Structure 1
Amino acid sequence: MAPANKAVVFTDFDGTITLKDSNDYLTDNLGYGEQKRRDGNIDILENRVKFRDAFKEMLDSVPTPFDECVDILVKNIKLDPGFKDFYAWCLAEGIPVIVLSSGMEPIIRALLTNLVGPTADQIKIVSNQPKHLPDGTWTIDYHDDSDFGHDKSLAIRPTANLPKEDRPVLFYCGDGVSDLSAARETDLLFAKYGHDLITYCEREGNPFVVFKTFSDIHRDIKDIMENRTTIDEVAGRYGREKAAAAAATAT
């Protein structure tokens, strides 16, 4: 069982805290389009291309000035309907929420401030940055030299490696290919329904639980922290539900 008030929530931002991935939105509407983007994601999942290369190509297809991109996203990106309540609960419980993102910090900060309000300033962001070029265009400036451009596991590992008596319970919430490096680092992984992270976890045999909104995550983490259930029980739910669905189909 988890001791009360001893947890950290690491979470992806785009498509996890938000309903739509802001980088996908830019690419689909201003760049080279949805089909080519999806083809690139499949290439990443099948190990035919590095994430950092496909993601940079995707963003470089967007000709719109960076500040205009931020304004467009603030007007169009919506918040997961359960996140505000979950974040308010985390603040009250003293549970840090840390965003680990393959996106760019100015976009993430602008969206969090717009969608969550002033308390969003307490959310730490570890992400990439934009690089403004002399000709007025921009590209992505990666956080590190990994194949991901931002290896999210590197931000989690120092906490995960703390001595047992000091180590908090670690949760991770994500949806896509940029979350692959973080998938094995925490005690419980929440993978968004209908997205690529589930495909990866099933292929690799990585334990996870499916969520549809942050209301699901809120319920499960609250129950764990208040000793109404265990991490193992929550993690085993998806397998039980999948087996039950398969049995029902067979009959």
Structure 2
Amino acid sequence: MSSENETPRSVLPYPPIKKESKFVVLSDWDGTITDRDSNDWLVDNLGFGFEKRRALNVETLEGRIGFRDSFREMLESIDHPFDYCKEQLKQNIKLDPGFEKFYTWCKANGVPVVIVSSGMAPNIRAVLSTLLPGPDAEEIDIIANEVEFTDPEKKGDKWEIVYRHPDSGFGHDKSQAILPYRDLPHRPTLFFCGDGVSDLSAAKHADLLFTKVMANGHSDLKTFCEREQIPHVPFTDFNKVLERVQEVVAGKSVETVLKEEGN
């Protein structure tokens, strides 16, 4: 396993970084851009269920197991063909109520939005195709894990996750999507939006971190940031993110925003 200070080996390609952009938004997918976590939905409804899944989340949050291993265990409990799982997600997963407006504004104002997910890219693209108009679903860059069909016919009756960073305890170390921007001659302001344990590796590297809070007040990432004293902006939907991103793009400093949010 890679140590925390080593750059983890990636077995999947990255899209080009946005070298010319003054501002870049990177966002988790599940439970952040979406109204619920699609992988949690699969495990809770097609796998071993909520109680065991949540117990593994807590183990990960408290550092007793890595996200890579706990997530693999969850996915291995799902004994359904991949296409069936994908169709179930298309029927049951919706966008955060403010995301389409947020994405439309970002696109119109030259602010790239990149999805950085510990889920599997084919599932993300499939759900997006049902929720965003026109070509938008195909245009958004997705940095995620992949899937391999393991049944003899390669139809997807049996499948497993292909981790972007198989040697990392995160499986997908999201910090690696952010850190290349730090080395650019004209470094952009980086926004990151997340909600859960898979976002912990990215939490310290954004200029302005947004932590998604569910309607019941739950947010593993917010809990982590409070414990580690990482400045952040809680939000319940992307209307709040849009408001704060617009302010920074218009000239307000990140430091001022964080101070106004009680950091």
User: TM-score when scaled to structure 2?
Assistant: 0.86
Q: CA deviation at 1:196?
A: 0.2
CA contact (8 A) 1:160 1:185 kept: no
- What is the aligned partner in structure 2 of residue 98 from structure 1? 114
Distance apart, 1:76 and its partner CA: 0.6
Distance of 1:238 and 1:8 partners within structure 2 = 21
Aligned to 1:182, the other structure's residue is in SS state coil
> What RMSD over aligned residues (CA atoms) do the two structures have, in Å?
1.2
What amino acid is the match of 2:88?
A: I
Matched, 1:151 2:173: yes
The structure in which a higher percent of residues are helix is 1
Deviation (angstroms), 1:161: 2.2
Partner residue of 1:66 out of 68, 73, 82: 82
**Does residue 1:132 correspond to 2:149, yes or no?**
yes
Q: What is aligned with 2:16? A: none
Note the C-alpha offset of 1:75: 0.5
Match of 1:221 in 2: 245
Q: CA deviation at 1:238?
A: 3.5
Q: Paired residue for 2:5?
A: none
Matched, 1:27 2:27: no
Counterpart of 2:65 in structure 1 is 49
CA–CA distance in 1 between the matches of 2:27 and 2:38? 15
Task: After the TM superposition, list the runs of 4 or more consecutive aligned residues in structure 1 that deviate by more than 3 angstroms.
Answer: none
Amino acid paired to 1:170: L
Aligned to 1:232: 255
Output the CA distance in 2 between the equivalents of 1:204 and 1:161.
Answer: 25
Does structure 2 conserve the Cα–Cα contact (< 8 Å) formed by 1:173 and 1:190? yes
Separation of aligned partners in 2, 1:238 and 1:66: 42
Give the direction of change, closer, same or farther, for the CA distance of 1:11–1:65 in structure 2 (3 Å limit).
Answer: same
- Counterpart CA distance in 1 for 2:56 and 2:179 is 28
2:114 aligned counterpart, secondary structure: strand
Equivalent pair of 1:209/1:237 in contact (CA under 8 Å) = no
* More divergent stretch after superposition (205-214 vs 230-239): 230-239
The answer to whether structure 1 residue 121 and structure 2 residue 138 are counterparts is: yes
After superposition, the C-alpha distances for 1:35-77 in whole angstroms (9 at most, x for unaligned) are 1111101100111101100000001101110000000100010
- Counterpart of 2:9 in structure 1 is none
2:141 is matched by which residue type in structure 1? K
The Cα shift of 1:239 comes to 2.5
Output the CA distance in 2 between the equivalents of 1:202 and 1:38. 20
Query: Aligned partners of 2:48 and 2:258: how far apart in 1?
Result: 38
Shift of 1:237: 3.4
Distance in 2 of aligned mates of 1:131 and 1:79: 26
Which residue of the partner structure matches residue 172 of structure 1?
192
Q: Unmatched 5+ residue regions in structure 2?
A: 1-20
Matching residue of 1:202 = 226
Unaligned runs of 5+ in 1: 241-251
The number of aligned residues is 233
Question: 3-state SS of the aligned residue for 1:158?
Answer: helix
Distance 2:37 2:196 in 1: 10
Equivalence for 1:248: none
Matched, 1:184 2:184: no
Return the match for 2:163 from 116, 136, 142: 142
Which position in structure 2 is the counterpart of 1:83? 99
> Which residue of structure 2 aligns with residue 107 of structure 1?
123
Q: Tell me what 2:31 maps to.
A: 15
Quote how far apart the aligned CAs of 1:87 are.
0.3
Q: Quick one: which amino acid aligns to residue 128 of structure 2?
A: L
Distance of 1:127 and 1:99 partners within structure 2: 8
Task: Tell me the percent identity.
Answer: 51
Give the SS at the match of 2:225.
helix
